[in-house]
Every structure is written in structure tokens, then in C-alpha cells.
Amino acid sequence: MSSNAQWPDLPLSAWSDSCDTLHLWTQIAGKVVLKLTPLVNHWWNVTFHVDARGMAKRAIPYQGRVFDIVFDFLDHRLDIEVSDGGRESLPLRPMTVADFYAAFMERLRRLGIDVDIWTIPCEIAECVAFDQDRTHAQYDPEYVSRFHQALVQSTRVMQEFRSRFIGKVSPVHFFWGSFDLAVTRFSGRTAPPPKGHTPNVADWAMAEAYSHECSSCGFWPGNGGFGQAAFYVYAYPEPEGYGDARLTVSAGAYNKDVGQFILPYDTVRQARDPDALLLGFLQETYAAAANLAKWDRAALERAPNWARPF
């Protein structure tokens, strides 16, 4: 076991019901963000950002004001704060998705924010509308706090990885549709639209998400059928031979079922140097994609030994 206690144990089996409920709660808040914010390339406008207390979306515009939505995973509450001084809170505790939806929307209305959202969850097959879902109702504060800590550590390392790229690169941000933390690098070339269909997402929306050639990495808790927390890397479009790339420095392997390189979270957590292992995995898998797709790496990356100015 790693002596680094900053990387908590996070077996999905111990909190899978809470994970599914939290996923749906974040989708409700995320769809409010989607409705009110102007589109940024690849839907970067709708994502949440991990912070010291949980995850948040700041400065959402509404009729001349802005407001923040903050999931606080330390005190376990959802805070809404408005630029005119208004504030509402919602305790995060076991409750149905339908009850969370009603309580969240009511608090927005109290603050003078009147917004309607499509109540069907995105990227989840065979789902129930938020206002009718009385099945998902679990919330385990201990494991939600562990999840937050795993996000904090993953964000920290992924920000270091991001800093090595000077081409177009996304923030390190959390997608509530797929319930994962991600950072994406781009070659600068356009890409064909995806051929598949994502549940309850318009094909044109996915075409916007994958409009340009990219290498994307991230962390997710393993919900949706995978079964364990893991780090992933994929390339779009996937260059020929990508799945056969051999990793020599880091652990991890290509999973043909998901079409991604996978590094189990437990492997990182239990490593002597979790940061070095994860950075090695991210770098090797990115390099494999960039080399096979013939990216102009000299123009897109910082020198390995670049000096910080202070």
C-alpha cells in the first residue's frame, strides 16, 4: 500500500448507489448551466471545476446578474450565490433525485432565477426523468468526500501534465454527462464527426465535442458498467496501431472493450510515487497517439527541461 494517504481507497462497490445518485444531481445542476451559458468550443462552457471544497461552476449569467453553483463535499451542501448578494443552500443528504430536482429548482426561483431544463438525463441509457426518479436516493458522505479527494489529487497531477502543452488544450474540468474529470490536447486539425450515438445526446452535439483531432485523458469512478475507478486515455480519431502501443515506463494497458488505455486508480494509489506513475502513463499514451497521427510535437509541446521564470 502507498504511504501517501492523500490518495484514498475508493472501491466503487462501496458507494455505487451514492455515485449514481450524485451523477444525476450534478446533471440537474449542469443542465441549468447548459441552458444559461453561451457555447464554448467542445462544450467547455458546461463543465464544473474541482476546488478545495468540491466542484463548482462560477459566474453563470442570468438577466444582468451572475451566480455560482457549488457542490461542497466537505460540509455536504449545495450553495447558490448571486452577484446581488442572494444566497441559498441545499443540504446534501440521502434524498430521491425527484426531491433534489424540486428543491434545487425552488431555491433558484427564490433567488429570482427562473429556468426550465430538459429533465431526461444525458449519456445514460434506460433512464428516468429527474422529476420522476424516486429510485436513486443514496448519499454516503464518507465516500463522496473520498471521491472529492481523489478528484483533487487527479486534478493536481493532470494540471502538471497540461502545463507541458502549448497547443490548444482544455482546462482540467469535470463533465457531468459522463461523470469524469478530463483534460484534452488538440493537434490543430479538424476531425470527422463520430459515427456512434450517445444516449439522449443529439448527434450534432457530439460532433461539436469531437470537431477536432485530440488526445484526451481523465479519471472516472467506474460507474456506467466498468466497475472500478480508473484513469483513461483515448485518441480521436484513433490512429492505426494505437491499441498496440507498448507502455514501457508506466503501468496500464489498452482495453479493447472501451477503446481506451486504462490505468486502475488502485494501481496509482498503491504506488510508491503516485504522481510519477500517473504522469508517466499520461505522457506515454499521449506520445503514442501524437506520433502515430504525426502531430507537430515540436510546435505543440514545451521542452522537457523548460525553466520557470520565478
Domain ranges of the chain: 12-132, 146-300
pTM of the entire structure?
A: 0.96
Supply the pLDDT for residue 206.
98
Structure confidence by residue, pLDDT tens digits, 141-188: 999 999 999 999 999 999 999 999 999 999 999 999 999 999 999 999
3-class secondary structure per residue, 108-172: HHHCCCCCCCCCCCCCCCCCCCHHHCCCCCCCCHHHHHHHHHHHHHHHHHHHHHHCCECCCECCC
Nearest to 86 by CA among 66, 71, 60: 66
Mean pLDDT of 291-302: 97
DSSP state of 267: H
Structure confidence by residue, pLDDT tens digits, 212-242: 999 999 999 999 999 999 999 999 999 999 9
Q: pLDDT at residue 51 above 60? A: yes
Are 194 and 207 spatial neighbours (Cβ–Cβ below 8 Å)?
A: yes
Supply the pLDDT for residue 234.
98
What contacts 117, CB < 8 A, 6 or more positions away? Answer: 28, 31, 32, 34, 35
Q: pLDDT at residue 95 above 90? A: yes
Supply the pLDDT for residue 307.
60
Average pLDDT value over all residues in the chain: 96
- 249: confidence class by pLDDT, cuts 50, 70, 90: confident
Supply the pLDDT for residue 251.
83
Distance of CA 97 to the CA centre of its chain: 20
Supply the pLDDT for residue 250.
75
Q: pLDDT at residue 1 above 50? A: no
Are 259 and 4 spatial neighbours (Cβ–Cβ below 8 Å)?
A: no
